[in-house]
Chains A and B, each alone.
Chain A
Amino acid sequence: MLLGGVDLTVRAGEVVGVAGVAGNGQVQLAETIAGLRAPTHGTVRVNGVEVTGRGPRRARAAGLAYVPEDRLGTGLAPSLSIAENLELTRPQGFWIDRKRATARARELIERFDVRTTGPQASTRGMSGGNVQKVLLARELSGDGAGDDAAGDGGARASALVVASPTQGLDVGSVEFVRGVLSQRRDAGCGILLISADLDEVRALSDRILVIYEGRIVLERPGASAGVTELGLAMSGLSGMARGDAARTGGAPPEAGPQ
């Protein structure tokens, strides 16, 4: 799926929901913002810093965190321990400080209520909820007791891209994850929530966009968006809502950019 003419801004303290049926360009959108894909044209800015196609580390350095839909396999390396996975996206020196990593893991396991035998447990075989908690713990940490002013690069992310954050989770974990996201929004974090779960998008978002065939076809304030209108837009049946993006028929969607 090729993205086209996507122009979106997420402000601090705002949750922007991107609703759409899976496969309409959500992965490409998230990865382009996260620096994993270079767009053919256009720019991506995080906190005013241009990071377009400069790789995920640049985007992170600018304050972006990304929770991918594929948690175990992309977000986390399955054979590695929880402690190691919690270090995955953190800048490191030449040597690995295992003691420090373990201590940090203990603290995050506690704070994010991860049910596990300990920091050295492998992430493979954990429940979806626990996997997501580990992932969120890493992407949202940088604050708190364990991460003091050591200058280890663990600055708190101020912009967050989350894809299908509660898909396949148990009720308790869904509650927890949504709570964490709301909390971060209230703390001033700008969140782009990409999800195929319309209820979730409506429950969490301040503003809702609908993505269809790589284009944003509808934009509504969160409160006033009706299920029917959103559902129709998701299925490509109401291009009329935003005239410029209206597109029926025409060329078939092209293959992905990479």
Chain B
Amino acid sequence: MAARLERRHVVGPWHHVVVPLASVLAALAVGAVFLLLAGHDPLLVYREMLRAGFTTRFGIEDTLVSATPLILTGLAAAVAFRFKLYNIGAEGQLYLGAIVASGIVLAVGTRVPAPVAVALVVLGGAAGGMLWMAVPALSRAWLGTSEIITTLLFNYVALYLLQYLIFGSRSPWRDATVTNFPQGRRLPEAALLPQWGTSRISLGLAIGVAAALAVWVLLARTRFGFQLRVFGDSPAAARYAGIPVRRTTVTVLLLSGALAGLAGASEVAGRTGMLDPNGLAVGFGYTGIIVAALARYNPVAVPGVALLIGGLQNAGTALQSLPGARVPVAISTMLQGAILLFVLAGELSLHYRVRWRRPRAAQPPAGTGPHAPAAAAGTTGATGSRP
């Protein structure tokens, strides 16, 4: 027996709901096996996770705070991956967004009113992310450099830059008055993103949700989005239709970088209040890729998935203090990984089905016909070679 993957031509609408749900359930089942092996009651642990992440007031608040950067980095990944441009660099773009946003408002200081300062934070974040994406984007479009490699490597450069600004230099970002452990200078009060009532949920959440809607409108309703979908589906068709392939590549990647940069701005002005390498470098960029994959690169699904993953991360932390049962924090990381793997497998089953067939004794040679004799008149099926 041999297995073969066959492309499904028709994907039923229910597939899109059932497959991700089944994937999450399967991941929880695998997680349960590990929990059992470690001597924990899976049901108890899952109930506690649900409680800690999604039902108590503080839990929900924490979840929303964690979800905020994930919405934006998730969008950054979704917008690029959907068109087969693999920006792995949301992490670095996030740092640069935070650096530029905080740099601008620290330089401007208290000279501008709050709305202007907040606008500077937002624009600075987007600009920082785009700046960090510019080299990978341009080299991908004009030199054919793999953006996977360049964006990934740029993450490390960005991380060292971030650490240098606070730990390794007397930069304007560093608080010169603190002499023991180096830390960032506090942003002026006016530049901090407004928070919802007494909670820690900032304007960043609203920016994330608005960005998700804006990206959706852009992709689904505008000419540019239409061109992007053609480009993502078939570069040959895009060229045929006269869609500028290089310009489109650069635009998509810059948009992706800007969204990741916004996440950095929202963190620095909405949560940490200063450029804080330890608070920023916690992998929001990489987790955003998981969020995007789970959302099937659909921008409107990103906020919901970010909420799920954000809650899972918070619950993992909460589990450590579960009385009597020290569940390791790694369980939430493992669950995230398992969910991703199952969703990717589910994605495959969405578009392909497995066909089992017995190997035949003599297979006919594949592809009959295309090599017709040179002089044959009326050859059909000859596709010819392309340069």
Q: Please give, as numbers and ranges, the residues of chain A lying within 8 Å of B374 by CB-CB distance.
A: 21, 234-236
- Indicate whether A1 reaches chain B with its CB closer than 8 angstroms: yes
A199–B242 CA distance with the chains assembled, in angstroms = 33
Q: Is the CB of B387 within 8 A of A95?
A: no
Decide yes or no: A74 and B377 within 8 Å by CB, A94-B223, A95-B223 being known contacts: no
- Indicate whether B14 reaches chain A with its CB closer than 8 angstroms: no
Interface footprint category on B = 20 to 34
Q: Is the CB of B377 within 8 A of A198?
A: yes
* Stretch in A6-14, A40-48, A54-62, A181-189 with 4+ CB within 8 Å of B: A54-62
- Indicate whether B178 reaches chain A with its CB closer than 8 angstroms: no
- Indicate whether A87 reaches chain B with its CB closer than 8 angstroms: yes
A258–B386 CA distance with the chains assembled, in angstroms = 11
Q: Please give, as numbers and ranges, the residues of chain A lying within 8 Å of B9 by CB-CB distance.
A: 122, 124-125
- If over half of A's interface residues share one DSSP class (helix, strand or loop), that class is named, otherwise mixed; here it is loop
- Indicate whether B186 reaches chain A with its CB closer than 8 angstroms: no
Residue of B10, B238, B379, B381 most packed against chain A (CB within 10 A): B379
Contact among A69, A84, A89, A227 with B383 in the assembled complex (CB-CB below 8 Å)? A69
- Contact string against B for A residues 220-255, beta-carbon threshold 8 Å, 1 for contact and 0 otherwise: 000000010011101111000000000000000001
- Indicate whether B355 reaches chain A with its CB closer than 8 angstroms: no
Q: Is the CB of A234 within 8 A of B233?
A: no
Q: Please give, as numbers and ranges, the residues of chain A lying within 8 Å of B372 by CB-CB distance.
A: 21
A229–B328 CA distance with the chains assembled, in angstroms = 82
- Indicate whether A197 reaches chain B with its CB closer than 8 angstroms: yes
- Indicate whether A92 reaches chain B with its CB closer than 8 angstroms: yes
Q: Is the CB of A77 within 8 A of B237?
A: yes
- Indicate whether A70 reaches chain B with its CB closer than 8 angstroms: yes
A28–B384 CA distance with the chains assembled, in angstroms = 12
- Indicate whether A80 reaches chain B with its CB closer than 8 angstroms: yes
Q: Please give, as numbers and ranges, the residues of chain A lying within 8 Å of B240 by CB-CB distance.
A: 36, 56, 66, 68, 74-75, 89
- Indicate whether A167 reaches chain B with its CB closer than 8 angstroms: yes
Q: Is the CB of A57 within 8 A of B234?
A: no
A155–B237 CA distance with the chains assembled, in angstroms = 21
- A residues 170-207 near B (Cβ < 8 Å) are 196-200
Q: Is the CB of A255 within 8 A of B229?
A: no
Decide yes or no: A26 and B384 within 8 Å by CB, A77-B230, A234-B375, A234-B377 being known contacts: yes
- A residues 58-100 near B (Cβ < 8 Å) are 60, 66, 68-70, 73-80, 84, 87-89, 92-96, 98
A199–B240 CA distance with the chains assembled, in angstroms = 28
Q: Is the CB of B387 within 8 A of A255?
A: yes
A84–B241 CA distance with the chains assembled, in angstroms = 12
Contact among A21, A56, A84, A236 with B379 in the assembled complex (CB-CB below 8 Å)? A21
Q: Please give, as numbers and ranges, the residues of chain A lying within 8 Å of B379 by CB-CB distance.
A: 21-22, 196-197
Q: Is the CB of A89 within 8 A of B242?
A: yes
A2–B153 CA distance with the chains assembled, in angstroms = 41
Contact among A94, A230, A234, A237 with B222 in the assembled complex (CB-CB below 8 Å)? A94
A56–B40 CA distance with the chains assembled, in angstroms = 65
Q: Is the CB of A60 within 8 A of B226?
A: no
Q: Is the CB of B234 within 8 A of A168?
A: no
User: How close is A63's CB to chain B, nearest CB, in angstroms?
Assistant: 15
- Indicate whether B380 reaches chain A with its CB closer than 8 angstroms: yes
Q: Please give, as numbers and ranges, the residues of chain B lying within 8 Å of A23 by CB-CB distance.
A: 384-385
Interface footprint category on A = 35 or more
Q: Please give, as numbers and ranges, the residues of chain B lying within 8 Å of A198 by CB-CB distance.
A: 377-378
Q: Please give, as numbers and ranges, the residues of chain A lying within 8 Å of B17 by CB-CB distance.
A: none
User: How close is B375's CB to chain A, nearest CB, in angstroms?
Assistant: 4
- A residues 20-42 near B (Cβ < 8 Å) are 21-23, 26-28, 35-36
Contact among B10, B375, B381 with A168 in the assembled complex (CB-CB below 8 Å)? B381
Q: Please give, as numbers and ranges, the residues of chain A lying within 8 Å of B44 by CB-CB distance.
A: none
Q: Please give, as numbers and ranges, the residues of chain A lying within 8 Å of B238 by CB-CB distance.
A: 77
Q: Please give, as numbers and ranges, the residues of chain A lying within 8 Å of B170 by CB-CB distance.
A: none
Decide yes or no: A88 and B384 within 8 Å by CB, A21-B374, A124-B9 being known contacts: no
Q: Is the CB of B237 within 8 A of A196?
A: no
Q: Please give, as numbers and ranges, the residues of chain A lying within 8 Å of B375 by CB-CB distance.
A: 21, 231-232, 234-235, 237
- Indicate whether B236 reaches chain A with its CB closer than 8 angstroms: yes
A230–B377 CA distance with the chains assembled, in angstroms = 8
User: How close is A75's CB to chain B, nearest CB, in angstroms?
Assistant: 7
- B residues 233-262 near A (Cβ < 8 Å) are 233-234, 236-242
Decide yes or no: A84 and B236 within 8 Å by CB, A21-B379, A125-B9, A234-B375 being known contacts: no
Q: Please give, as numbers and ranges, the residues of chain B lying within 8 Å of A236 by CB-CB distance.
A: 374
Q: Is the CB of B234 within 8 A of A74?
A: yes
User: How close is B104's CB to chain A, nearest CB, in angstroms?
Assistant: 31
- B residues 176-231 near A (Cβ < 8 Å) are 220-223, 225-226, 229-230
Q: Please give, as numbers and ranges, the residues of chain B lying within 8 Å of A76 by CB-CB distance.
A: 237
Q: Please give, as numbers and ranges, the residues of chain A lying within 8 Å of B37 by CB-CB distance.
A: none
- Indicate whether A256 reaches chain B with its CB closer than 8 angstroms: yes
Q: Please give, as numbers and ranges, the residues of chain A lying within 8 Å of B362 by CB-CB distance.
A: none
Residue of B239, B378, B379, B382 most packed against chain A (CB within 10 A): B378
Q: Is the CB of B237 within 8 A of A75?
A: yes
A170–B237 CA distance with the chains assembled, in angstroms = 24
Q: Is the CB of A196 within 8 A of B382?
A: yes
A241–B96 CA distance with the chains assembled, in angstroms = 69
A76–B19 CA distance with the chains assembled, in angstroms = 29
Q: Please give, as numbers and ranges, the residues of chain B lying within 8 Å of A88 by CB-CB distance.
A: 230, 237, 241
Q: Is the CB of A74 within 8 A of B386?
A: no
Q: A56-B241, A197-B380 are in contact. List 6 more A-B contacts (CB 8 A).
A: A74-B237, A75-B237, A92-B226, A167-B380, A197-B378, A234-B375
Show 9 A/B contacts (Cβ-Cβ < 8 Å), sorted by A.
A1-B387, A22-B379, A70-B236, A74-B237, A77-B234, A80-B230, A80-B233, A256-B386, A258-B387
Residues on B lying within 8 angstroms of A by beta carbon are: 9-10, 220-223, 225-226, 229-230, 233-234, 236-242, 372, 374-387
Sort A-B residue pairs by CB-CB distance and give the 5 closest, nearest first.
A256-B387, A22-B384, A125-B9, A235-B375, A198-B377
